[in-house]
Amino acid sequence: MKISEYSEKQLVDLLKRGHLLLSLKPFVTRVQSDIVSIARDIALMYGDFETCPIDSFADFHVSVVQETGILGWMKPRARFYFDGRPSFVPLPVDQAFAMLEWGLNWCIAAHSHQYLVIHAAVVEREGRAAILPGAPGAGKSTLCAALITRGWRLLSDELALFDMETSVLYGTCRPVNLKNTSIDIIKQFAPQVVMTESVADTTKGTIALMRPPTGSVSMVESPAHPAWVVLPRYLPSAPPKLESHSRAETFMLIAEQSFNYDIHGANGFNAVGNLIDRSQCYEFTYSKLEDAVSVFDGLCLGRIG
Amino acid sequence: MNERVLIVSALTDTGILSGLSSAEWDLLIRQGRRANLLARLAYQMTADDLMNAVPEQPRLHLISALRMVERQNKAMHWEVQCILKALGSAEADVILLKGAAYVMAGLPAANGRTFSDIDILIPKRRIAEAESQLMLNGWQGTHHDDYDQRYYRQWMHEIPPMRHIKRGTTIDVHHAILPESARLKINTPALFQNVVELPGYKQLFVLSPEDMLLHSATHLFHEGGLENGLRDLFDLDSLFRSFSEAPGFWEKLVPRASELGLSRPLYYAIRFCTMMLSTPIPGEVVAESRIGKPLAAISILMDFCYKRALRPAHESCSTAGTGLARACLYVRSHWMRMPFPLLVCHLVRKAIRNSAPPSWDAPLARDLN
């Protein structure tokens, strides 16, 4: 059954009892929460996702719980629990859903060593993937959000799961994290997108999450073949410029941006090498999303590279 | 209360795994992860050729855990080389303890075991020199506060843990296996007499089989936190099983415990290994070990506490009295560590300084969005 088929009241109830098993393929996450806004945001962001029966195997058991006690009463805060154990510092309760998202990222990054887990956005077209590794502030999420409103499929805006045996990429197709001015830029660029309410004053500034496109969610199990690694760089009022980037430097960047590169040892080294061998490597400077979209379309049509 | 939790049943008899439902696999993986025994289970299942029969989702978690420890195992070899190189000029023999010893001696207890630091033992007179050699080679002291420094240097059996500035690895340098202030007085010089040199290394040693087991028992049954209590009990189980083949092990064990002053922890090790993990121990050794048995009332209390505390710290394993048992053992561990007046001063200082309890599970420090 899809999340969109539940009423908000049903979701609140399932969350309260910890009976919501959300299918975030290839993972299943069991979520518990007493915070009503989380039910609302799950309905808004995960409407196209399936749930699993209560007796299914869940990869991650997470809770986001409002803190009790005097401090909780004075200034409500929420805390993330991984299988009953508190993790991360508590945050103001209006950041509860964002905290759930960050917590899930951590769950995946810390426990999924069947993959090389790379901190990067991944979008796909015609089976070929563009990997956008993420230096914070470089605009990978903004670029990713723009591309998926113009024909590219979302794999992930945060965690690329590289299957080292078959050399293909997976993503969980979860909501896209937007920060600060990116929120309004994307709203203007694609007025049809669905976003959560913006939450101000987080450690990352103002944040909002964007609902993943229905078409991308329905294809979440289809992998994509690595074709391009593009290092985005947002530069105000710069013309779009796509330049070849050193393959060695791109290798080092991907290795550095992988959460479990060290755990895989020689296999990790070979996997990154393999990924780079299969990809054209670019640095991309841009200021306007329209320009960016046409450059990426050009990449896909083989006009560039 | 006496029924086994799933992870213990699985580790003691992997045969039960063929009949597990999805919900049971779910619970097993969670208990295994919390108890730091997931990789051990994965190792055991691989050895028993059972991995392919596991449903895909739990199998991936088992494999993930296994990859992690395989990596740690490699890193351990490298780290030991680095330590030896650093201490080479100190002319000090290095005795590896616990996990590092299990790995470097190739003992089955290392299979699927995770580590957070490396423990070494060196004679007290060599400590200052070893510490400065480690500092010259990139290890930095921790616990810079005056009180902590005094706490470690005056009363403890180790100097403050040292952390390597580049690799982030931690080394605990010990000169004894229990605090100087502890109630139990140990014959430390005798410990250094029976050490075993590791083939292929210069100046690198582990404790003799009996002493290694006694140290493992002493560590577990003086610990207060017990987050890894069940893992440590499985270490003991594995040591008992692998040393049962070593010549003279069973004959020497109880007399050696008396010689070192460790009859009590050996008694507990044998009692809880046999009771909770069905560890095979010869009847006469079990009988002999009773010289370390405490008064009946204490024995009943310890049974109550350890039966509860030596379970995974997971909600599915809590029973009536688990919280009380853990609290009792925490107080006991402090009671054992230092004389009462010193303990009072120490706890008051700690209480004033950190009003918040330490977090067990510090997640990755990396920015995740």
Cα(B184)–Cα(B95) distance, integer angstroms: 22
Cα(A290)–Cα(A293) distance, integer angstroms: 5
CB neighbours of residue B75 within 10 Å: 18
Joined tokens for residue A101: 């998202």
Asked if residue A297 and residue A260 are part of one domain, the reply reads yes
Whether B23 is in a domain gets the answer yes
Coarse DSSP helix, strand, coil percentages of chain A, rounded to the nearest 5 percent: 35, 35, 30
Q: Provide the number of structural domains found in chain B.
A: 1
Asked if residue A21 and residue A62 are part of one domain, the reply reads yes
B354 band by pLDDT with thresholds 50, 70 and 90: low
Q: Provide the number of structural domains found in chain A.
A: 2
Q: Which of A64, A94, A111 is the last residue of a domain?
A: A111
Cα(B264)–Cα(B179) distance, integer angstroms: 16
Q: CA torsion, points B192, B194, B196, B201, in degrees to nearest 10?
A: 40
Of the candidates B34, B57, B361, the beta carbon closest to that of A57 is on: B57
Neighboring chain A residues of B31 at a CB cutoff of 8 Å: none
Q: What is the pLDDT of residue A71?
A: 57
B321 band by pLDDT with thresholds 50, 70 and 90: confident
Joined tokens for residue A251: 């290798």
Please, which contacts does A6-10 make with residues 24 or more away whose CB atoms are closer than 8 Å? A6/A43, A6/A51, A8/A39, A8/A40, A8/A43
Per-residue b or e along A102-128, where b marks 16 or more CB atoms closer than 10 Å to that residue's CB: bbbbbbbbbbbbbbbbbbbbbbbbeeb
Asked if residue A168 and residue A44 are part of one domain, the reply reads no
Q: How far is CA B145 from CA B142, B150, B350, in A?
A: 9, 9, 12
Q: Which of A111, A126, A152 is the last residue of a domain?
A: A111
Cβ-defined contact of B30 to A61 (cutoff 8 Å):
yes
Asked if residue A163 and residue A43 are part of one domain, the reply reads no
Whether B116 is in a domain gets the answer yes
Indicate which of A24, A54, A56, A83 best probes the interface with B, i.e. most B CBs within 10 Å of its own CB. Answer: A83
Whether B367 is in a domain gets the answer no
Whether B360 is in a domain gets the answer no
Joined tokens for residue B319: 């029973």
Asked if residue A174 and residue A71 are part of one domain, the reply reads no
Asked if residue A189 and residue A297 are part of one domain, the reply reads yes
Whether B78 is in a domain gets the answer yes
Of the candidates A101, A111, A262, the beta carbon closest to that of B71 is on: A262
Whether B369 is in a domain gets the answer no
Minimal-distance CA residue of chain B relative to A259: B366
Asked if residue A176 and residue A290 are part of one domain, the reply reads yes
Reduced to 3 states (helix: H, G, I; strand: E, B; else coil), residue B185 is coil
* pLDDT tens for chain A, residues 1 to 305: 999 999 999 999 999 999 999 999 999 999 999 999 999 999 999 999 999 999 999 999 999 999 876 655 667 889 999 999 998 888 999 999 999 999 999 999 999 999 999 999 999 999 999 999 977 777 889 999 999 999 999 999 999 999 999 999 999 999 999 999 999 999 999 999 999 999 998 888 999 999 999 999 999 999 999 999 999 998 888 999 999 999 999 999 999 999 999 999 999 999 999 999 999 999 999 999 999 999 999 998 886 64
* A106 Cα to chain B: minimum distance (Å): 7
Q: How far is CA B66 from CA A99, B1, B39, in A?
A: 29, 31, 5
Asked if residue A73 and residue A152 are part of one domain, the reply reads no
Report pLDDT digits (tens) over B100-146: 999 999 999 999 999 889 999 999 888 999 999 999 999 998 887 88
* A115 Cα to chain B: minimum distance (Å): 9
Neighboring chain B residues of A158 at a CB cutoff of 8 Å: 368-369
Domain that holds residue B335: 6-353
**Which residues of B lie inside 8 Å of A (Cβ-Cβ)?**
21-23, 25-26, 29-30, 33-34, 55, 57-58, 60-61, 63-64, 67-68, 70-71, 74, 314-315, 359-361, 363-364, 366-369
Asked if residue A129 and residue A103 are part of one domain, the reply reads no
Q: If you average pLDDT over residues B196-211, what whole number do you get?
A: 93
CATH code of the domain covering residue B180: 3.30.460.40
Indicate which of A57, A115, A258 best probes the interface with B, i.e. most B CBs within 10 Å of its own CB. Answer: A57
CB neighbours of residue B243 within 10 Å: 18
Asked if residue A77 and residue A43 are part of one domain, the reply reads yes
Asked if residue A276 and residue A168 are part of one domain, the reply reads yes
Domain that holds residue A88: 3-111
Whether B362 is in a domain gets the answer no
* A4 Cα to chain B: minimum distance (Å): 26
Residue B138 carries which DSSP code?
T
Query: Which residues make Cβ contacts (< 8 Å) with residue B248, sequence separation at least 6?
Result: none
Asked if residue A106 and residue A66 are part of one domain, the reply reads yes
Cα(B204)–Cα(A263) distance, integer angstroms: 27
Q: Which of A111, A136, A158 is the last residue of a domain?
A: A111
Whether B247 is in a domain gets the answer yes
Of the candidates B26, B70, B363, the beta carbon closest to that of A57 is on: B26
* Residues B87, B90, B95, B98, CA torsion sign: negative
